Structure 1
Amino acid sequence: MSSPSTGPDRAPVGTAPARWVRLPNRPAFWLVACAFGLLHIGANLPSPLYGVYRQKFDFSAGVPTLVYASYAVTLIGALLLCGSLSDSHGRKRWVITGSLLSATASLLLAAAAGVGWLFAARVLQGVAMGASGGAATAALAELAARRTSTQGTSTQGTSTQGTGTEVAEAPRGTAKASTVATIALAGGAALGPAVSGLLAEYAAAPLMLGYLSHAAVSVAVAAVLTTWRERPIGRSAAPRVQRLGVPAGLRRPFARAAATMFAIWALVGLFLSIVPSYAAELLRTGNLAVLGSFPCVLLGASCLAQLTARNAVTGNGVASGLTMLALGLGAIVLAFPAQSWWPLLAGSVLAGVGHGLGFASTMRWINDVCPPRRRGEVLSALYVPLYVGLGIPVIGVGFLAGIVPLFSAVTVFAVVIGGLALTTAVWAARH
């Protein structure tokens, strides 16, 4: 019998900390998801505002591309350096650290007095995302699996112990975690430019209000997460610099997953940086709320696709998603010679659904097959092609648009990324 000073959630004096979280699993799961979504909201708040910054700080047309590149390059570096740290030091501290760094970056952007502030804030956002993205995704998978297995044990009684019930329940938890993580990522990326565009067009303080609100909410979420005491799962002995490698048996399917992530997030990079300008030329409008809505349409369609495709077979989901992405890119290109906004809107929805199917299927596969002790490492490795796709092709399109018309630059992008998507779709369908 336990003494009054101890209980199921309290460790006796002089013993190791309690194995269960002080914050229950359900709220801890949703708070981590919220923190993950806030990271992506903050990282995408500046997307529709570079035109405003250009007028305010009087910099050249190529500077926004360099600012964006500083974010992408720093993020990839942080992934390589910090990807495995959550496996050895726990998820919580890295999720909280990322939230606080993201809030600090938003404060820098709110106080920006020159282009140097933009570079500093974007670098800090890259560090925040790279240091905590893999940790947050791994934490979601572990919290969901633990809660599902706990429910299964409590429902069936002690006679289920040792029968494999918890193992059987685990895929249900990882499927839920995959869906929530992908929606938090895509939803955050959608809300960022949509909120910025609306505030820039209609609010009294367009370059401050969104950033200050994001910083306040991020700090509040981080503060509540300090009450979460995560359960040890057998961490690696020591931190190490992240390697671009995965368990030997997963290397070929991981290559398909990496190609998928590169293609689908190159599409998102195009929408976050180039499509607003493309739409401005097509629609002949400078309304930032309208122009910022196209990334929201794309990623909103992605979120809906993820919600409706939870039971899709992984290979079929990837193949279908990449095919729809290629078709959507074709419609976006056709919008300009047709001088109609309908193909642009239809292409945005179609490509968004393709993005959601491909992303959800890929993340579900990773969470289902990855060993728990290497989950943070493998997820961080998977985020490298994601963010390379998000950043590098768009930088190329930006520089190409300085030489040829924007329509031609977007067409080149569509041919290259659409071709990669179709090739990977065939590869996924055969396996």
Structure 2
Amino acid sequence: MKYQSNATFWIAACSFVLVFMTAGTPISLFNLYQAEDGLSNADLGVVSLGYFLAAATALLMCGRLSNHLGRKPMALTAIGCCAASCVLLMFMTDVSFLFAARLFQGFACGIATSSIGAYAVDAGENQPKWLVAAVVSTSPMVGIPLGAISSGALVTWGPYPKVLIFAVILAMLLVCLVLLMRCHETVVKQPGAISSLIPRLHFPTGKSLIFIATTGVVVSTWAAGGFYQAFGPSIVAEQLAMDSAIVAAITFSSVMGLTPFGSYLSGRLSPRHAVQVGMALFCLAAVCITLALLEGWLMMFIAASLSVGIAQGLASTACIKLLLHDEPQLYRAGLLSTVYIVSYAGAVFPAMGASIAASWYSVFTIWCGYAVLGIVAAVTALIATVFAAKAREAQPVAG
């Protein structure tokens, strides 16, 4: 017996979160890997870059594949890649294991953001629109911190710190695999799977300013998240003088932890105001993070990082809601792929520079570069929403 739409929606949503939870689990172990396996900041930068490149490659080549093979087979593929990464990390001995595992996780995340995201949208026709948009836009920001905090807690208080968390996640993935197999398919499979592997981006018609605003939002917030993902433990150790896996996990997770709350707030505002408030909050938070790192103020750093999560939830949920409005089912996976390609690009290109700079510069100096990039992107989003509002107001006059 196949699960109906409501059950399928929640299973797809949980699968989406679990894929990113898997991707978050190794982050709290980075300091342990540095101490026991000889990894350097430069190694972590390269590993992070590999993760983002794998995700971007999956989005470019597989973003529309679920239209042809089905949403469910692609979701199962993502879960399988996550399971493979857990097995690799359970036998972690050097950077090559971590790099290979992060490639699997990146590929899984790339598939999930298009295929599982579209699966949730398809099955969520009877759900509130803000909830569907929140699942699509914030699942990565919920899953990654969950993985990091769970891992940090087990490293701090549990046995076998380099194995136990991945065994737990692997068991959860197997349960998810069984549940997904009982879900119903939401698309009619079409021929042309091979040709769909040719990279092709889909841009929504008549929403260019909204897409520019979305670009500014995701570049600013995903770049910041990418920095925390690569250098979060190093920030705690070098700038905040703390040597604790759980503190490192909480610090890293703080940048994404309140994203769902921001999504909830977004439903209380008009989309334009949600983007503007979110991006203004991001700019303020970026300045506060810089000051906190300079002075070594842990509480201010965490508070400002939490504000980044609220800003991301506010702005990204509003943008996704606007982009998905009236978008035909056939184009949803392609549109989400395009949005997430831009998102990952916002993380990949700064990570490329950061992985090189990490050999010569401190994490504080690297953050300053990220802060400048984020503020420029946030201001771009603010300006785009102003012009989008003016264009919308001018339409009745033009008509």
Normalised to the residue count of structure 1, the TM-score between the two structures is: 0.84
Kindly state the Cα deviation for residue 337 of structure 1 after the two structures are TM-superposed: 3.5
Alpha-carbon distance in 1 for matches of 2:232, 2:30 = 13
Shift of 1:236: 4.8
Structure 2 CA distance, aligned partners of 1:429 and 1:198?
44
Which residue matches 1:157? none
* Identity over aligned pairs, percent: 24
1:112-145 deviations in Å (ceiling 9; x for gaps): 2332211211111122122232111111111111
Partner of 1:96: 76
- Read off the aligned partner of 2:42 and give its amino acid letter: G
Q: Structure 1 stretches of 5 or more lacking a match?
A: 1-20, 149-171
| Aligned with 1:79 (options 54, 59, 78) | 59
Pairing 1:164-203 to 2, within 5 Å after superposition: 173-203=128-158
Q: Distance in 1 between matches of 2:182 and 2:361?
A: 54
Q: Does 1:419 align with 2:382?
A: no
Q: Distance in 1 between matches of 2:240 and 2:73?
A: 46
Instruction: Quote the residue 1:118 is aligned against.
Output: 98
Indicate the residue corresponding to 1:372 in structure 2. 329
Question: How far is 1:396 from its partner?
Answer: 2.2
- TM-score w.r.t. the length of structure 2 is 0.90
Match of 1:41 among 7, 15, 21: 21
Cα offset, 1:376, TM superposition: 0.5
SS at structure 2 position matched to 1:413: helix
Contact 1:266 1:390 in 2 (8 A): yes
Corresponding position of 1:64: 44
Whole-angstrom CA distance in 1 between matches of 2:272 and 2:261: 19
Cross-structure match for 2:192? 238
SS of 1:306's equivalent in the other structure is: helix
Structure 1 residue 341 displacement after superposition: 2.3
Opposite residue 386 of structure 1, the aligned amino acid is S
Aligned to 1:15: none
* CA deviation string 1:326-355 (max 9, x = no partner): 110100001133342232122112222111
Tell me which residue corresponds to 1:297: 254
Secondary structure of the residue aligned to 1:249 is coil
CA RMSD of aligned residues (A): 2.0
Write the deviation string for residues 233-254 of structure 1: whole angstroms up to 9, x where unpaired.
x555423123123244334432
Which residue is 2:238 aligned to? 281
| Separation in structure 2 between the aligned mates of residue 59 and residue 270 of structure 1, nearest angstrom | 17
Deviation at 1:111, TM superposition (A): 1.6
**1:127-276 correspondence to structure 2 within 5 Å:** 127-145=107-125, 148=126, 173-232=128-187, 234=188, 236-239=190-193, 240=196, 241-276=198-233
**Per-residue deviation, residues 151-192 of structure 1 (Å, max 9, x unmatched):** xxxxxxxxxxxxxxxxxxxxx644321123334321101112
Q: Partners of 2:150 and 2:256 in 1: how far apart?
A: 14
Instruction: Give the match for residue 154 of structure 1.
Output: none
Task: Give the corresponding residue for 1:336.
Answer: 293
Asked if structure 2 preserves the Cα contact closer than 8 Å seen for 1:274 and 1:394, the reply is no
* CA 357–99 in structure 1, closer or farther in 2 if over 3 Å, else same: same
* Contact 1:322 1:425 survives alignment (8 Å): yes
Query: 1:324 aligned to 2:304?
Result: no
Return the structure number with greater relative CO, CA threshold 8 A, min gap 6: 2
Greater mean deviation of Cα atoms: 275-284 or 117-126: 275-284
Equivalent position to 2:361, from 393, 404, 408: 404
Q: Give the drift of 1:51.
A: 2.1
Gaps of 5+ in 2: 389-399
Tell me how many residue pairs correspond in the alignment.
385
Does structure 2 conserve the Cα–Cα contact (< 8 Å) formed by 1:264 and 1:358? no
Give 1:407 shift: 2.1
The one-letter code matched in structure 2 to 1:392 is: F
In structure 2, relative to structure 1, the CA distance for the partners of 1:335 and 1:61 (3 Å cut) is closer
Residues in 1 aligned to 2:294 and 2:11: alpha-carbon distance in whole angstroms: 46
Point out the structure with max Rg over C-alpha.
Answer: 1
* Distance of aligned partners of 1:256 and 1:350 in 2 relative to their CA distance in 1, 3 Å threshold: same
Paired residues of 1:325 and 1:351 also in contact (CA < 8 A)? yes
Structure-2 residue corresponding to 1:155: none
Asked if the contact 2:31/2:245 (under 8 Å) is kept, the reply is no
The answer as to whether partners of 2:213 and 2:319 remain within 8 angstroms in 1 is no
- Alpha carbons of structure 1 residues 337 and 43: separation in structure 2 relative to 1, 3 Å: closer
Question: C-alpha distance in 2, partners of 1:315/1:378?
Answer: 20
